[in-house]
């Protein structure tokens, strides 16, 4: 099996359709609303955006919603009142943004989605979205896990540890994993619990799964932090993670890759938080009246214990 897989999947990369905007005058000002600070991934995402804004001489008005949609809506409206060049935000949930985005459009302020998507019938409410293809991450997690059981005839009992309810990555990673798992029937999803993206949440979810599921062969945790929490719960239950129970996670944080090298995780699908330069590229293009790609996604990698060693030294998050 290839130790690290770099893919350009259907739907990844830049869409051919793009918009051209009238350039605003004055300095470049970006209003950015972060979804929260729930994980190491999110902190690295915030740092990437702040550093890229400074490098590109973009004045950044930064707000943190801390997982509260009402707070995020208030933040976006504060950016509209400030008449910024552009607004970017990582949505707390998928729905409930149409009204505030119509207000931004009325004020002639372009909106960019980062990391997550929204559910809307009017995709013209935002000019671009930047982030990973979450369904593809679920696909890859299932493919690599399934390949580990090629020599096993019986079904593999898998439990899932999900992110926060209503978030795009939670929904699409689960859908992608289930779609790939159903093709051969080798992987059987027997139960799921919500871990809310944190180590503590992942540990609690895994404890619940251990209590209610008689046989667990493998775990799909939707991010590294929840996977690390699952490792704690499995060890407390007398199981050897990575051997007795196999684990695949998403993100490829430094802590996640260290656990992968240590043999406690089996595979990690990369979802890079370092999108700051891509975001500033869109903001500068808006300022200059350039063309804006509707969808921008990075390449995706899958790491095992061998390939993880090669990237650990340079990991920024």
> What number of CA atoms fall less than 13 Å from residue 105's CA on the CB side?
12
Q: Which of 106-110, 265-269, 298-302 has the lowest average pLDDT?
A: 298-302
Secondary-structure class of domain 18-132+273-293 per CATH: alpha beta
Matching residue, tokens 């593809």: 136
270 CB neighbour count, 10 Å cutoff: 23
Would you place residue 25 in the very low, low, confident or very high pLDDT band (cuts 50, 70, 90)? low
Given pLDDT bands bounded at 50, 70 and 90, which one contains residue 2?
very low
List, for residues 57-102, the tens digit of each pLDDT value: 999 999 999 999 999 999 999 999 999 999 999 999 999 999 999 9
What is the chain's mean pLDDT, rounded?
91
Q: Is the pLDDT of residue 187 over 90?
A: yes
What whole-number percentage of the chain has pLDDT above 90? 83
Based on the number of CB atoms within 10 Å of its own CB, is 113 exposed (0-12), middle (13-18) or buried (19 or more)? buried
Instruction: Write down the domain spans for the chain.
Output: 18-132+273-293, 134-270
pTM recorded for the entire structure: 0.81
CATH (one of 3.40.190.10, 3.40.50.300, 3.40.50.2300, 3.40.50.150) for 134-270:
3.40.50.2300
Q: Do domains 18-132+273-293 and 134-270 have the same CATH topology?
A: yes
Name, in order, each residue with C-beta under 8 angstroms of 197's C-beta and a sequence gap of 6 or more. 38, 39, 42, 163, 164, 222, 223, 225, 226
Q: 3-class secondary structure for 210-254?
A: HHHCCCCCEEEECCHHHHHHHHHHHHHCCCCECCCEEEEEEECCH
DSSP conformation letters of 3-50: SB--B--TT-S--S-EEE-PPPPSS-EEEEEE----SHHHHHHHHHHH
């Amino acid at each position: 099996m290839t130790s690290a897989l770099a893919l350009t999947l259907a739907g990844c990369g830049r869409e051919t359709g793009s918009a051209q905007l009238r350039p605003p005058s004055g300095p470049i000002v970006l209003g950015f609303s972060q979804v929260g600070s729930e994980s190491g991934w999110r902190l690295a995402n915030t740092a990437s955006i702040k550093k890229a804004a400074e490098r590109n001489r973009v004045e950044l008005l930064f707000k943190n919603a801390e997982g509260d949609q009402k707070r995020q809506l208030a933040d976006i409206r504060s950016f509209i009142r400030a008449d910024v060049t552009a607004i970017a935000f990582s949505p707390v949930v998928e729905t409930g943004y149409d009204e505030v985005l119509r207000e931004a459009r009325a004020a002639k302020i372009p909106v960019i989605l980062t990391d997550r998507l929204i559910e809307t019938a009017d995709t013209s409410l935002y000019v671009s979205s930047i982030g990973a293809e979450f369904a593809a991450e679920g696909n890859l997690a299932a493919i690599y896990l399934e390949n580990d059981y090629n020599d096993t005839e019986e079904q593999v009992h898998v439990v899932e540890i999900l992110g926060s309810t209503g978030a795009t990555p939670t929904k699409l990673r689960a859908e992608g994993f289930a779609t790939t798992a159903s093709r051969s029937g080798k992987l059987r999803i027997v139960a799921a619990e919500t871990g809310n993206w944190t180590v503590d949440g992942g540990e609690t979810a895994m404890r619940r799964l251990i209590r209610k599921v008689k046989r667990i062969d493998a775990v799909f945790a939707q991010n590294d932090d929840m996977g690390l929490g699952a490792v704690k719960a499995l060890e407390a239950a007398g199981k050897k993670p990575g051997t007795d129970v196999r684990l695949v996670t998403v993100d490829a944080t430094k802590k996640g890759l260290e656990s992968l090298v240590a043999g406690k995780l089996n595979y990690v699908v990369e979802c890079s938080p370092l999108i700051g330069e891509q975001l500033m590229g869109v903001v500068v293009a808006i300022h200059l009246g350039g063309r804006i790609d509707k969808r921008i996604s990075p390449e995706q990698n899958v790491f095992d214990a061998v390939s993880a060693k090669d990237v650990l030294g340079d990991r920024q998050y």
